[in-house]
Structure 1
Amino acid sequence: MSSSSPPGDTPIWPLFQTILGSITQVILVCVSGYVLARRGILDKSTQKQLNVINVNFFTPCLLFSKVAFILSPAKLRELWIIPIFFLLVSGVSLVVAWFLGNVFRLRPSQRNFAMAAATFMNSNSLPVALLQSLRCHNDTKDAIIGRALTYLLLCSTIGQFLRWSYGVHLLSKADPLEEEIGNTTGFQDDATHGHTTSHQLRPRTCVAPNRRHTTPVFYSFPSTPFLDAVNLPPEPETDSISDSDSNPDDDELQIPVWSRPSPTFLQRVGRSVRSIWKKVTNFLTPPLWASLISLAVALNQPLQHVLEVHLHPVQGAITQAGNCSIPVTLVVLGAYFHRPVEKTEAAPSTARSSWRRASFASSLREIFRLKAREEDRRSRVQQRVGKGEGRTIFVAIFARMIVVPALFLPFMAIGALRDHPPVFQDPVFILSNVLLLASPPALTLAQITQAVSSDTFERLISRTIFWSYCFVTPPAMVGYAVVAMLITKL
């Protein structure tokens, strides 16, 4: 990895072993989630509850521990180029995925998913594991890891800001097609069951309920042509009129709008402030709050010193809670691969009497017939909703791991050739950024999709993670690592 080492010293096999080891760890934790879901321990409701706990507690602790106790104002001043580089990569990834989504005619929600998967890359576990396996003749392993963590941590911090702000906005947009399918389900059910009985097709006779608090006074007279005539019990006419007139709801006075006092200046200001604060709180998710607070702590060195030295148990508790975030995310992600089979109703017992079996025969035939129609309708709906999933996965992976690295690698080579900015003189910086450019989609996307869109992207995110990590990442990351080493020799 140094300028004095020949290209033949490039450690291909250790790199490949490291990549396989990192992916195997992810797969094993996901398999445990699948087994738990298959045994019924990790059902849908439990998955949602785990994700809620993860989003509101474990992930904020992870973000706080990674930023508040490591970054400092001096590091931020020295590495000003990294935030600019990361934002530029994210913006280009977003545009590339949007363009490819339009070319492949993806639906709006699928295009948004592809844009999110292409923009938010794995900036923690996989690049760090790869950099730990590298060696440099003129540098120590601890120094390499220390500088690499600093580079990747800045990118990870900015990435978390983007994921839990704009990423949530992208993945929370509903698909118009799925909304239409959901809204028309009830009408299709009515149409399916409408032929079973003839009286359902006839117009129903409406009889007004006896609710004096909602019926106007003049509807109480029998001569008024409204709805059906109802035989009223013999009552003195005066009582009926007096009862109707005594109803306070019928004679309620409506205050004209012009007579209401206009709000004062302070009331208008308070209303505007409350409206703005409500929008801000809806936008700021718990992980985003944690990122902002951790950045404030990192920029305040006295407060950072208090947390690290005088409040060490607090720091340890936050760090331990943050270490639970990624495993919980992977367990829930593995549970997504399990598709529970719907239980069918058991047939009636043979011990029942013959007359009861005969009476149920026609009903059971009708129930099974309707159930077959319902299953057929659901399969058609799932085909419409799932149409384009393969193209969506292709767009997300192709944009994230092929197109974006191809666009930025020439600029990385030019920067290494001219050693400008000065940070390009560090080979670890070049390796970190190249691995970050080609890194697969972030695993936390599963956490975000479950939090903001429930089960809408469950199958899509699981398939995207499976294809990108199991098939594309091993050869791609080895190739990009070799390219990065060649760039450092320029």
Structure 2
Amino acid sequence: MNAFATIAITAVQSISQVVCTGLFGHILAKRNILTPPLQRGLSQLTICLFTPCLLFSNTVRSIRQDTVMDLWPIPCYLLLFTFLSMSLASISARFLHLTPSQSNFMRATLTFSNTNTLPIALVESLSYSSALPWLQSPGKSEDELEDSEDIAARGVSFIVFYSILGNLIRWSYGTTLLSKDEDAQISGSYSDRHTPQRGAEEEGGAQRPHTPSPSSPVSANHHPILMTRGRPAPRRQEEMAGGRERGEPFSNPPTVGALLGMFVALTPAIRDLLIPQGAPLYTTLFKAVDGCGKASVPLIVVCLGAQLTTLSRSPPSPSQGHHGEEDSERLALNPPSPYAYPSYASTVTFASVGRLILLPCLCLLSVMLTLPLAGALGKDPVFLLTILLLGSAPTAINLMTVCQANGCFERPMGRVLLTQYTLGSITLVGWCMAFLVVVRGVYAGERTLASS
């Protein structure tokens, strides 16, 4: 089969795998099995257990003290891609006149990409395709050529190391960006201040809690799974975001799992107790942690499918709710709020275009300019292909888990992910073909010299 056709099929299959897994969540949500409270509980379980286990096991398995120094270009490219993403987000925020909360949302969606499911699937598939000759290191004889398994293992090791470092930033700074939606708080507090409270004096001064209208800006732009009577639960949000606001961004479970895994990986005495196979704690402790970690990605995708299904349901009109008379009376008495919740249409559009088109272009240009400085890794075609794929992936799926846990940005995040993973099958096919052409062109001269 032609190499380009193989690449196209590989990209479509990788995206389809994510779509099919999310479809299971969609079906469960449609049948009211995966209910909103259950979605919230699964998101908490993923953050507190499965994701830390995934980061710990991948770190311990992939990193060793004697090889970690050879991978120094990877954190450099991670910082470079982060700088490009943050710069693009800042420019777009100024150009689109975004609010501070919208700017934080834009930074998160542009900066944190999918570094697990899609890149790993693409690298493994390409390693076993007719593109294998283009991924061989130049200068080797036929007896020294690597097989598909070796090529795939090396590419996955690059991705895992990049993912480990990226997750440290995502689960610290990234969760801070998505921890508070000030626009929702402002619009909600204005509604509270301008809502007449009936029966306060008659009941001895005990005021009845205000229930916003389902058509108010707050309830119309927030998902009901983290809302009580149409409003986000403020105490719960403050409790979850409080630790980060007090300057503890590295205290959340995923970051702790990644840091603990790095410590164990760089401490040979402890690492030898866990791996390789036959180590004292391999069958018991490490296999248990690894098994929990493998549940992380499928569970995140299933919850995403259910969340998108629930978000697509239209909220009831005031006349259909249990408090329809109260809502109509309040809408008649209250003036229109000058702090209406802002629209995320332009934000979602630019986040999708930026993540799928603009950033891959910037990453390709920056990698081609800096590749001669990457040392030994700069001469490895697998490294070049891998780092380009990492820079072109859609927004990370587990950002929805962060939004669910924090109770904000759920609807716009759902729209971003739905848009990107729908269009990603097209853009990734194009980028994979372009990157493979680049890889073949960069190392073609060295292969010609080696063969002669």
Fold match by TM threshold 0.5: yes
CA separation of 1:207 and 1:436: change in aligned 2, threshold 3 A: closer
What does residue range 199-238 of structure 1 map to in structure 2 within 5 Å?
none
Contact kept? 2:12, 2:429, Cα under 8 Å: no
What residue is the counterpart of 2:222 in the other structure?
none
Q: Report the Cα distance in structure 2 between the residues aligned to 1:31 and 1:388, rounded to whole angstroms.
A: 28
SS of structure 2 residue aligned to 1:158: helix
What residue is the counterpart of 1:190 in the other structure?
196
What residue is the counterpart of 2:365 in the other structure?
410
What does residue range 389-428 of structure 1 map to in structure 2 within 5 Å?
389-415=344-370, 418=372, 421-428=375-382
What residue is the counterpart of 1:329 in the other structure?
300
- The aligned amino acid for 2:393 is S
Q: 1:475 and 2:442 equivalent? A: no
- The aligned amino acid for 2:398 is T
Q: 1:168 and 2:135 equivalent? A: no
Q: Report the Cα distance in structure 2 between the residues aligned to 1:173 and 1:370, rounded to whole angstroms.
A: 29
Q: 1:65 and 2:36 equivalent? A: no
Contact kept? 1:413, 1:487, Cα under 8 Å: no
Contact kept? 1:97, 1:395, Cα under 8 Å: no
Shift of 1:479: 2.2
TM-score calculated relative to the size of structure 1: 0.70
Q: Report the Cα distance in structure 2 between the residues aligned to 1:129 and 1:294, rounded to whole angstroms.
A: 23
What residue is the counterpart of 1:159 in the other structure?
166
CA separation of 1:68 and 1:101: change in aligned 2, threshold 3 A: same
Q: 1:487 and 2:424 equivalent? A: no
What residue is the counterpart of 1:310 in the other structure?
280
Deviations 1:65-99 (A, max 9, x none): 11012211222111111111111111221121121
CA separation of 1:375 and 1:11: change in aligned 2, threshold 3 A: farther
Counterpart of 2:23 (choices 31, 41, 44) is: 31
- Between 295-304 and 480-489, report the one with greater CA deviation: 480-489
Deviations 1:377-414 (A, max 9, x none): 99x88x942x4312111222233232222223234334
What residue is the counterpart of 1:136 in the other structure?
132
Contact kept? 2:28, 2:34, Cα under 8 Å: yes
CA separation of 1:13 and 1:187: change in aligned 2, threshold 3 A: same
CA separation of 1:296 and 1:182: change in aligned 2, threshold 3 A: same
Q: 1:21 and 2:17 equivalent? A: no
- The aligned amino acid for 1:87 is L
Counterpart of 1:436 (choices 371, 379, 390) is: 390
Tell me which structure has the larger Cα radius of gyration: 1
What residue is the counterpart of 2:290 in the other structure?
319
What residue is the counterpart of 2:409 in the other structure?
457
CA separation of 1:47 and 1:420: change in aligned 2, threshold 3 A: closer
Q: Report the Cα distance in structure 2 between the residues aligned to 1:20 and 1:487, rounded to whole angstroms.
A: 21
Shift of 1:41: 2.3
- The aligned amino acid for 2:264 is V
Q: Report the Cα distance in structure 1 between the residues aligned to 2:360 and 2:319, rounded to whole angstroms.
A: 56
Identity of aligned residues (%): 27
Q: Structure 1, unaligned stretches of length 5 or more?
A: 1-8, 194-199, 209-275, 348-365
SS of structure 1 residue aligned to 2:67: helix
- The aligned amino acid for 1:296 is F
Shift of 1:44: 2.2
SS of structure 2 residue aligned to 1:133: helix
- The aligned amino acid for 1:421 is G
Contact kept? 2:62, 2:161, Cα under 8 Å: no
CA separation of 1:179 and 1:145: change in aligned 2, threshold 3 A: same
What residue is the counterpart of 1:259 in the other structure?
none
Q: Report the Cα distance in structure 2 between the residues aligned to 1:423 and 1:113, rounded to whole angstroms.
A: 34
- The aligned amino acid for 1:487 is V
TM-score calculated relative to the size of structure 2: 0.76
CA separation of 1:346 and 1:152: change in aligned 2, threshold 3 A: closer
Q: Report the Cα distance in structure 2 between the residues aligned to 1:136 and 1:204, rounded to whole angstroms.
A: 79
Deviations 1:363-382 (A, max 9, x none): xxx9755444668999x88x
Q: How many residues end up aligned between the 2 structures? A: 381
Deviations 1:5-58 (A, max 9, x none): xxxx96222222222222222222222222222332222221111111111111
Shift of 1:421: 2.2
What residue is the counterpart of 2:226 in the other structure?
none
CA separation of 1:371 and 1:72: change in aligned 2, threshold 3 A: same
What residue is the counterpart of 2:187 in the other structure?
181
SS of structure 2 residue aligned to 1:442: coil
What residue is the counterpart of 2:253 in the other structure?
286
Q: 1:88 and 2:80 equivalent? A: yes
Q: Report the Cα distance in structure 2 between the residues aligned to 1:43 and 1:128, rounded to whole angstroms.
A: 31
Q: Report the Cα distance in structure 1 between the residues aligned to 2:340 and 2:121, rounded to whole angstroms.
A: 40
Q: Report the Cα distance in structure 1 between the residues aligned to 2:268 and 2:149, rounded to whole angstroms.
A: 24
SS of structure 1 residue aligned to 2:436: helix
Counterpart of 2:4 (choices 12, 21, 43) is: 12
CA separation of 1:343 and 1:83: change in aligned 2, threshold 3 A: closer
Deviations 1:392-445 (A, max 9, x none): 1122223323222222323433455x5852211111011001111111111111
